[in-house]
Amino acid sequence: MKKPRRLFKGTESLLASLASILAGLLFGFVLLLIFNPAKAGDGFLNILLTGVRSTARLGKVFYTAAPLVMTGLAVGFAFKTGLFNIGATGQFTVGGTLALFGAIAWQLPWYLCLLLAILGGAVWGSIPGLCKALFNVNEVITSIMFNWIALFTVNLAINNTTVMLASSWGDVSRERTASLAKANLDAILPKLGLDKLMRYNGMNIAIFIAVLVALVMWFVLQRTTFGYELKAVGANRHASRYAGISDGRSIIQSMIIAGALAGLGGGLYYLSGTVQFTLGKELVAMGFNGIPVALLGASHPIGIIFSALFISYIQVGGDAMQPEFAREMIDIIIASIIYLSAFSLLMRELIRRAKLKRGMAQEEATVKGADGAGEGGATA
Amino acid sequence: MMILADILSATVLFAVPLLLVALGGMFSERSGVINIALEGIMIVGALMSCLALSFMDQSGFGPANPQWAMLLAILVAGAAGMVYSLLLAFASIHLKADQTIGGTALNMLAPAFAVVLTWSIQGQGNTTIFIPTWTRITAQAAGAADTGSFLVRLVFKSLYLTTPIALVLLLLSALILYRTRLGLRLRSCGEHPQAAGSVGINVYRMRYIGVVFSGFLGGIGGLAFTVAAGSGFQSTVAGYGFLALAVMIFGNWKPLNIFLASLLFAFFKILGSYSGSLPFLPQFKGVASSEYIYLMLPYVVTMIVLILSSKKSRAPKAEGIPYDKGRR
């Protein structure tokens, strides 16, 4: 009796997500029709198919998905533990920059640079955690403040380390960091020949690292006492304290891990060798994109892998839509999918309630009332 | 002396959007709904009002009646924000969805929608909607006699209709929140909605009102930001919606404190851009691009003040929790 119901719950939440994706895409198609009816069909096919039209495009999907998985995990992990980590951008930036410092200024190999990225993100993530645990300052506000502080600190640090700038390595630009191809080949993530295989220069092992980390996160959350404690604090801080869990410590630990995840994302992104950090006064979008990734993946580590791949996939499609349509059309589609997932939550709830009622009626009929009530209490 | 006038007037100019949007957030959260979507609401308000302004500019109505046109634009901004905020209200009040989900979706939707719409109206690649110059209230237009004095400089250096309107809205907000039946009911829904519901208050309606107020103020805040930024509307409000959220928490969900918090934040923000011309500020000679130190300043100051004042900080108790009649 128990097993099939569990299974139902899982597939049904997947179905709900798929339904909102479908509805969101449909909405996107309608928008394309409104803005340019003649090109709408081609544009929509571009969104759907570009990612698999060539191995290079598929490589790009993996390439963008890797940091998205990480920032998605950074947001999702914090969500699971009851915190809204809107600071993934700052953690991503600090982690990525520290990795670049390791690569360019200190000439370290890629794995040490990734460790630096994790460290940088963890330190930056720990600040909102500490502020919340010690001073009871809302983590949302601290994260927002430290996003900007991260951006300006990083700009300051790079500008004051001449060797970091592209201009020190034979390029003209003083606005970006040195290209790793010129500064330190050992710091570029191994490609294992995948770049040749897929004919895409940015393809490397980043996506495998990201998936591995997601699996580890799933294990930590689902199968360890530590993960259980973090989730318990997230579900009810006061009840957990009553049960003997140190809520302050859990909050700090959770934010350190979330920060480390985002920081690693920054490392994976900037050590690909195909991007350079551009100095400027705008926050990096990659960190904010972790929020929709986490929401679409229902904060579940495995779900986040797929939602990052999906979002990256339609973004690659969006690039191919230009210039007939603005690529921002993709953001509209993603936003409407997430908005619609709010509806799907409701749908799921209704179905679950109906199921529960029917189940309880059945069980009462077969005089198994106690079991049914217990189940109802656990899932409510 | 003149530089002091410049700094103060720029401070007010940048404090106005923060003030308006943070007041909006206050109404929403006091009614029990966390409004992460302020950034998106600002963008929609700015988009619609800037389109209205450029339309009025072309039709000739604007240059002929500049301040009437501006007032109209402000109303457009508020109305657009209200309509947009209804999307958040519907998801988080009616559907009882997680309030950050709806808010995040709306934040993502607004700038993308703005780019797509601007492209289709102005042609591809033209992503800026310029603000007509007649929107500024000049000393001549206001009939000030001595245009060289300190006071005139202070008031008219960068005065837009949004500033006096923001002050009126601040007073109105405080009055509504503390001196009307509506305000009392609104606050009760953010503290203990079940208790409010038990004495016959319609919690759903109160929360709708709270969110729609925040849409109105947030939309106008978007226009106020765009006139302050000065370079026209470029489908972004540069994170001001989130900053306003911080200002609201900093201001402890109270109108007057929010007013002071927005002034403090704006002052430190402006100080940075004048750091070169103020001899008494440290210049950090040995440091390359030291402007970043000043750019960081408002955020660092806010953090310090927050940590020092954290003991007194008190969020509405029921914010973020969907209203469930059956719970106690």
C-alpha distance from A111 to closest chain B C-alpha (Å) = 31
For A165, phi then psi, to 5°, come to -80, 150
C-alpha distance from A196 to closest chain B C-alpha (Å) = 35
pLDDT for the residue numbered B179: 95
Among A75, A94, A131, A144, pick the best mutation site for testing chain B contact (most B Cβ within 10 A): A144
State mean pLDDT over A280-303: 88
Least trusted range by pLDDT, from A31-35, A68-72, A359-363? A359-363
Residues 6+ apart with CB under 8 A from A313: A51, A61, A65
Residues 182-241 of chain A with CB under 8 A from chain B are: none
With an 8 Å Cβ cutoff, is B106 touching chain A?
yes
> CB-hemisphere CA count at 13 Å for B46?
38
Percentage of chain A with pLDDT > 90? 52
* Position A298 pLDDT exceeds 90: no
CA-to-CA separations, A48 to A198, A309, A312, in angstroms, rounded: 20, 13, 12
Cβ-defined contact of B104 to A295 (cutoff 8 Å) = yes
pLDDT for the residue numbered A2: 43
Supply A63's token pair: 């390439």
**Model pTM score:** 0.89
Q: What's the pLDDT tens digit per position in B89-131? A: 999 898 888 888 889 899 999 999 999 899 888 877 778 899 9
Q: What's the pLDDT tens digit per position in A2-27? A: 444 444 556 777 777 888 899 999 99
pLDDT for the residue numbered B145: 65
What chain A residue is nearest to B117 in terms of C-alpha separation? A35
Q: What's the pLDDT tens digit per position in B10-28? A: 999 999 999 999 999 999 9
CA-to-CA separations, B74 to B59, B77, B156, B165, B172, in angstroms, rounded: 18, 5, 19, 9, 16
Helices within chain A (DSSP H only): 2-35, 40-53, 55-80, 88-100, 110-135, 139-159, 180-183, 194-198, 206-223, 225-235, 237-242, 247-270, 285-296, 301-321, 328-365, 369-379
B16: helix, coil or strand?
helix
For B61, phi then psi, to 5°, come to -70, -40
User: A107 in the Ramachandran plot: left (φ > 0), alpha (ψ -120 to 50) or beta?
Assistant: left
C-alpha distance from B89 to closest chain A C-alpha (Å) = 12
> Cα separation of B302 and B261, whole Å?
9
Chain A CB contacts of B293 below 8 Å:
152, 156
Chain A CB contacts of B100 below 8 Å:
84
Cβ-defined contact of A144 to B243 (cutoff 8 Å) = yes
Percentage of chain B with pLDDT > 70? 98
Confidence of residue A377 (pLDDT cuts 50, 70, 90): very low
pLDDT for the residue numbered B272: 76
B147 or A44, which is more confident: A44
Residues 285-324 of chain A with CB under 8 A from chain B are: 291-292, 295, 323
Q: What's the pLDDT tens digit per position in B56-90? A: 999 989 899 899 999 999 999 999 999 999 999 99
* Position A370 pLDDT exceeds 80: no
Q: Are B298 and B243 in contact (CB under 8 A)?
A: no
Cis peptide before A323 (omega within 30 of 0): yes
With an 8 Å Cβ cutoff, is A145 touching chain B?
yes
Cβ-defined contact of B113 to A332 (cutoff 8 Å) = yes
Residues 6+ apart with CB under 8 A from A257: A77, A122, A125
pLDDT for the residue numbered A280: 84
CA dihedral B138, B142, B146, B148 (to 10 degrees): -20
| N- to C-terminal Cα separation, chain A | 18
State mean pLDDT over B210-231: 95
With an 8 Å Cβ cutoff, is B98 touching chain A?
yes
* Assembly ipTM: 0.89
> Cα separation of A19 and A344, whole Å?
8
What chain A residue is nearest to B248 in terms of C-alpha separation? A141
* Position B162 pLDDT exceeds 90: yes
Query: DSSP character for B237?
Result: -
Q: Could you tell me how many CB contacts below 8 A there are between chain A and chain B?
A: 138
Domain map (residue ranges) of chain A = 55-284
Query: DSSP character for A334?
Result: H
Q: What's the pLDDT tens digit per position in B174-206? A: 999 999 999 999 999 999 999 999 999 999 999
Supply B297's token pair: 């300043």
> Cα separation of A306 and A309, whole Å?
5
State mean pLDDT over A198-210: 91
Cβ-defined contact of A342 to B307 (cutoff 8 Å) = no
Q: Are A284 and A155 in contact (CB under 8 A)?
A: no
Q: Are B325 and B194 in contact (CB under 8 A)?
A: yes
> Cα separation of B132 and B54, whole Å?
7
Q: Are B111 and A331 in contact (CB under 8 A)?
A: yes
Chain A CB contacts of B112 below 8 Å:
328-332, 335
With an 8 Å Cβ cutoff, is A45 touching chain B?
no
What chain B residue is nearest to A84 in terms of C-alpha separation? B100
For B98, phi then psi, to 5°, come to -55, 130
* Position A379 pLDDT exceeds 50: no
pLDDT for the residue numbered B169: 97
Q: What's the pLDDT tens digit per position in A314-363? A: 999 988 888 788 888 999 999 999 898 877 767 777 777 777 777 777 76
Chain B CB contacts of A84 below 8 Å:
100
Single-letter amino acid, residue B328: R
What residue ranges define each of the domains in chain B, with the CATH number in brackets?
Answer: 2-312 (1.10.3470)
Q: Are A66 and A206 in contact (CB under 8 A)?
A: yes
SS percent in chain B: helix, strand, coil, step 5 = 75, 0, 25
pLDDT for the residue numbered A58: 93
Confidence of residue B328 (pLDDT cuts 50, 70, 90): low
> Cα separation of B213 and B173, whole Å?
10
* pLDDT, chain B, mean: 89
pLDDT for the residue numbered A365: 65
B116: nearest CB among A291, A332, A336: A332
State mean pLDDT over B292-308: 88
pLDDT for the residue numbered B147: 64
State mean pLDDT over A200-225: 94
Single-letter amino acid, residue B284: F
pLDDT for the residue numbered A195: 85
Cβ-defined contact of B239 to A148 (cutoff 8 Å) = yes
Supply B50's token pair: 């800037």
Percentage of chain A with pLDDT > 70? 90
pLDDT for the residue numbered B176: 96
* pLDDT, chain A, mean: 87
With an 8 Å Cβ cutoff, is B310 touching chain A?
yes
* Position A87 pLDDT exceeds 60: yes
> Cα separation of B83 and B76, whole Å?
11
